[in-house]
Every structure is written in structure tokens, then in C-alpha cells.
């Protein structure tokens, strides 16, 4: 695309299609100009002093706390997440900044032992953490504030300049957050928003001046970008999954049902670790399904800005069509619809439970990213685990059991980077390591881990001939 034909981006409410705001796209030239500015900051090797970064982040916490309602409303309006959950997202985002402050205050190198051989005598060695260079962050729509915080704040905390491209569907939370960051005292050149078309974004990401890419989005795009990165550019990729949950004979059904309902239908299932496949022992299936159906049918689907809404819209009408097509296809292949299984509007899909769909159907072996959960009855736990593992994803999973031996055995055998015991697969706190492998991604997220990923460890070795005299 030539610079003379720059387009703009229109942001709409995903529930009712109402126009919210229009933002200009940057040209490729403008994007690369911003990259050069960030690169010049990085090569100066003189980031803002740590005490100054701490001061800025502390100011940011206060500003975000004073704007909690506005931040939640923006996230709900542009992203479709129910207001009650958007408020929780804001609380998490504030907590994430606090975590970064705590980690920064203790981020240090370590002494490397010397004098262990004659050749290392009279030497002193230690490591230090330095910012890695320019960070590029490409984000997703489903947590329009907290994902941005998780990608931007670690860079700011360690002193790395960052260029951030929010999702085209949800850029407003990002821009408002960055405005607060500037008001907190961060010079604008240290955190720059980028709105551009795909070719310009790819040009940015693959530029050799980029030291680190943090990408949250589809596996297809993420792995494609990784294959094009300049030599030396490191990355963290966070994609999706098809999270399995196993309920054994001993599990507490009454305790598991509300957790699984939340884990399956939170944000209409548009979460990378959303509960997608539940394997329940056949002896428990009737009582489980009765309670799970009752809980699911009681969910309030509607306008995300209504405080009573529990399940909002999908991000785009085409996603509703895709989910509907996948469900219809699974029914043709033998799945039984226990509830839902239909569009409620052009923007919303009913919370849906499918019983025993084909394990090769898209609703089972691909990431549905919608309000659909598959339930499978089993009698052989080993076979259930084998089926649970038979997908190209490896992210988070869950086991429900009151038998500690079985819980640990199942957790050990499940193909996942994280396994929850007696909780749903979508559980997360912002300081824990978070990430997948195989098709689900690479690298580790979570504020402390991202901060370390965005650092380079430098070792200093000093020869002191008279050290021990």
C-alpha cells in the first residue's frame, strides 16, 4: 500500500454494531520512523533510572485506580466482555503494574563462583540485567487492557523502548492506558502505539532493529511471523488451545459445576485457556450434566454494558457464523446438543453443551473460541487422557478429584504446561508463569517472567591479581 492511500480504522461495539471511534492508520514510513526513534533510545544504553521507572509505575497505579470505571467501560464497549468481568480485568491490570514494581525492586544479577580452578584464581564475576533493546508487542482483543499491560509494562519496567500494536477491534483501551502512562511521567518515546495495516506490521516485526517480539493471537499468524524474524530477534508467542478437563469418580460435582461453567463461558469462551472439552466418568455423567445444564441455561446473555449480563457477544459477526457452522457440522457427525446450539443474534451465540461429538470434529480438536463446550463420557481413564492429549495444543488443563493419588497421576499424564487441580483450566493470576507449547506457542508470560525475557544478562569478570593478598 502506498503512503498516499492511508486508511483509517473504525471501532464498533461488538454487541449492537454501534460506531465508537475512528483512528488513523500509520503509513509504513511512519511506522519505521517510530522504530528508528525507539532503536536510537535502545542503543544509547541509558534507560530511565530504576528509581524513576518505579516512580512512574507507582504514579500509574494511582491514575488507573482513579479511572477504574472508565477503563472498565471502554473494555466492555469495544471488546464485548461483560462489565462485571471488565471490572475484574481492570483490577488485574492494576495488580500487574504493582507486581512489576515489586519485581523491579528485587531484579538483580548473581555472583558467579571463581577460584574453583587455578585458571579462575584471583577473579571476581557477577551478572547484571540490561534491557534487551526494542520490544514490539502485538496484542489480541479478548483482554484489551490487561494483555496490553502484560506486554508493555515489563518493557517499561526493565527500561526497554516498546512499540505496541493493539488489536484492530479493541485499540481504545490501549490508547487510554498509554495516555495514563504518559501522565504518570513516562516520556512518550518509550511506549509508542502503532496502528497500521498487516504489511506494515510485518515489516516492523521482521526489522533487524527489533530485539524482542511479544505476540498474542492466532497460531497461524504467530508461527508465520516467527519464521520471518531477523536472526537474533527473540520472541514469546501466546496462541490458543482446546483445554481438557477430567472429572474422576471421586470428584465433588457440586463444587465443580460452577467453576466449569465459569471456565467454559467466561467472555463467551473467547479465552485461550477456556474449558472446551470435559471428560466425565460415566457413573457421574447424569448428575453432572443435570447440574451443568441447569447452571448453563441460567446464564444471562446480553449487552455487555448491562451489569447483569454474564455472557456477551462474540467479537465479530463472522465469528458467530463460524461457531454456528462448527456446531452444525458436529451435529451432522453425531454430536447431541444438550442446550444452546443456535445463534441468538448476528452478534451472539447461545451457551452450548455438546455431548460426545466426534473427537475429530472441529469443536473438539480445534480451538472453538466461542461459548461451546464438549462433554465426553468415559469408563477408562487412560483412554480419556489419551483422547484429551490428542490435539496439537498444549497449554492449560484441569483435573477434578478428591483422590490425591489420581489427581497427581492424571496431572502428570495430561499434555499441558499447567494443570489445575479442582479448578477450571482458565484460572490465572498475573505473577504465575503462563504460556503454551506445540501449536499453543512458545516462551513464558506472566509479569515476572516477561520482565526477565525482555532483559539481556551481562556477565562481568574482573581479574584482581592481589585479590587475596
Are 269 and 310 spatial neighbours (Cβ–Cβ below 8 Å)?
no
- Tally of structural domains, the chain: 2
Which of 238, 310, 367, 377 is flagged as catalytic? 238
- For residue 467, is pLDDT > 90? no
Same structural domain, 22 and 133: yes
CB 188 within 8 A of CB 15: no
| All three cell numbers of 113 | 563462583
Domain contains 432: no
Confidence (pLDDT) at 21: 96
Give yes or no: residues 85 and 165 share one domain: yes
Is 55 among the residues known to form the active site? no
Give residue-wise pLDDT tens across range 232-242: 999 999 999 99
pTM metric for this prediction = 0.94
| Residues near 422 by beta carbon (within 8 Å), at least 6 away in sequence | 251, 252, 255, 256, 399, 400, 401, 407
Same domain assignment for residues 233 and 280: no
Rounded Cα–Cα distance for residues 221 and 202 (Å): 10
Percent share of the chain, pLDDT over 90: 96
* 35-62 per-position pLDDT tens digit: 999 999 999 877 799 999 999 999 999 9
Instruction: Check which CATH number belongs to the domain holding 125 and give it.
Output: 3.40.605.10
> 252 and 289, same structural domain?
yes
pLDDT over 70 at 2, yes or no: no
Residues 6+ away with beta carbon under 8 Å from 142: 79, 81, 267, 270, 271, 272, 315
pLDDT of amino acid 451: 97
Domain that holds residue 346: 243-421
pLDDT at 166: 98
307 and 344 co-located in one domain: yes
What pLDDT is attached to residue 469? 67
Whether residues 25 and 57 share a domain: the answer is yes
Contact 64, 89 (CB under 8 A): no
Domain match, 253 and 218 both: no
- 1 found inside a domain: no
200 and 272 in one domain?
no
Measured between alpha carbons, how far is 260 from 353 in angstroms, rounded to an integer? 12
pLDDT at res. 46: 75
C-alpha 190/C-alpha 209 separation (Å) is 15
Whether residue 322 is contained in a domain is answered as yes
Beta-strand ranges (E) seen in 156-231 are 162-165, 191-193, 210-216
On whether the CB atoms of residues 79 and 72 are closer than 8 A, the answer is: no
Q: Residue 339 catalytic?
A: no
Helix ranges restricted to H, 186-228: 198-205, 219-228
Residue-averaged pLDDT of the chain: 96
**Active-site position among 132, 174, 251, 272:** 272
Amino acid at each position: 500500500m502506498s503512503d498516499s492511500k492511508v486508511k483509517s480504522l473504525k471501532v464498533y461495539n461488538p454487541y449492537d454494531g454501534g460506531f465508537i471511534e475512528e483512528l488513523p492508520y500509520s503509513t509504513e514510513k511512519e511506522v519505521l520512523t517510530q522504530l528508528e526513534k525507539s532503536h536510537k533510545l535502545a542503543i544509547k544504553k541509558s534507560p530511565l533510572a530504576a528509581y524513576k521507572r518505579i516512580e512512574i509505575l507507582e504514579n500509574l497505579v494511582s491514575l488507573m485506580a482513579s479511572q477504574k470505571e472508565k477503563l472498565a467501560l471502554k473494555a466492555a464497549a469495544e471488546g464485548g466482555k461483560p462489565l462485571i468481568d471488565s471490572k475484574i480485568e481492570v483490577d488485574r491490570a492494576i495488580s500487574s503494574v504493582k507486581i512489576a514494581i515489586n519485581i523491579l525492586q528485587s531484579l538483580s544479577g548473581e555472583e558467579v563462583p571463581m577460584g574453583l580452578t587455578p585458571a579462575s584464581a584471583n577473579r571476581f564475576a557477577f551478572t547484571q540485567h540490561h534491557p534487551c533493546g526494542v520490544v514490539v508487542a502485538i496484542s489480541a482483543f479478548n483482554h484489551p487492557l490487561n494483555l496490553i499491560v502484560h506486554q508493555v509494562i515489563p518493557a517499561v519496567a526493565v527500561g526497554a523502548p516498546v512499540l505496541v500494536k493493539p488489536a484492530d477491534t479493541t485499540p481504545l483501551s490501549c490508547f487510554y492506558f498509554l495516555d495514563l502512562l504518559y501522565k504518570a511521567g513516562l516520556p512518550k518515546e518509550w511506549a509508542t502505539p502503532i496502528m497500521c495495516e498487516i504489511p506494515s506490521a510485518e515489516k516492523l516485526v521482521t526489522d533487524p532493529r527489533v530485539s524482542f517480539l511479544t505476540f498474542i493471537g492466532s497460531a497461524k499468524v504467530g508461527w508465520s511471523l516467527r519464521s520471518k524474524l531477523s536472526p537474533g530477534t527473540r520472541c514469546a508467542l501466546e496462541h490458543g488451545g482446546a483445554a481438557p478437563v477430567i472429572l474422576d469418580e471421586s470428584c465433588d460435582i457440586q463444587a465443580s459445576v460452577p467453576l466449569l461453567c465459569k471456565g467454559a463461558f467466561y467472555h463467551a469462551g473467547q479465552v485461550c485457556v477456556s474449558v472446551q472439552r470435559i471428560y466425565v466418568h460415566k457413573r457421574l455423567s447424569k448428575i453432572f450434566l443435570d447440574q451443568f445444564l441447569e447452571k448453563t441455561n441460567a446464564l444471562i446473555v446480553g449487552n455487555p454494558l448491562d451489569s447483569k449480563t454474564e455472557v456477551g457477544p462474540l467479537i465479530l459477526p463472522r465469528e458467530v457464523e463460524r461457531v454456528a457452522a462448527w456446531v452444525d457440522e458436529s451435529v451432522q457427525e453425531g454430536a447431541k446438543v444438550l442446550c444452546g446450539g443456535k445463534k441468538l443474534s448476528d452478534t451472539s451465540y447461545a451457551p452450548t453443551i455438546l455431548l460426545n461429538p466426534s473427537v475429530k470434529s472441529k469443536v473438539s480438536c480445534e480451538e472453538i473460541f466461542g461459548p461451546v463446550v464438549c462433554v465426553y463420557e468415559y469408563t477408562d481413564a487412560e483412554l480419556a487422557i489419551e483422547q484429551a492429549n490428542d490435539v496439537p495444543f498444549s497449554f492449560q488443563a484441569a483435573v477434578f478429584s478428591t483422590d490425591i493419588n489420581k489427581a497427581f497421576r492424571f496431572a502428570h499424564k495430561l499434555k499441558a504446561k499447567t494443570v489445575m487441580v479442582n479448578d477450571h483450566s482458565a484460572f490465572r493470576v498475573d505473577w504465575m508463569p503462563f504460556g503454551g507449547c506445540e501449536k499453543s506457542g512458545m516462551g513464558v508470560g506472566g509479569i515476572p517472567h516477561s520482565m526477565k525475557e525482555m532483559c539481556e544478562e551481562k556477565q562481568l569478570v574482573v581479574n584482581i591479581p592481589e585479590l587475596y593478598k
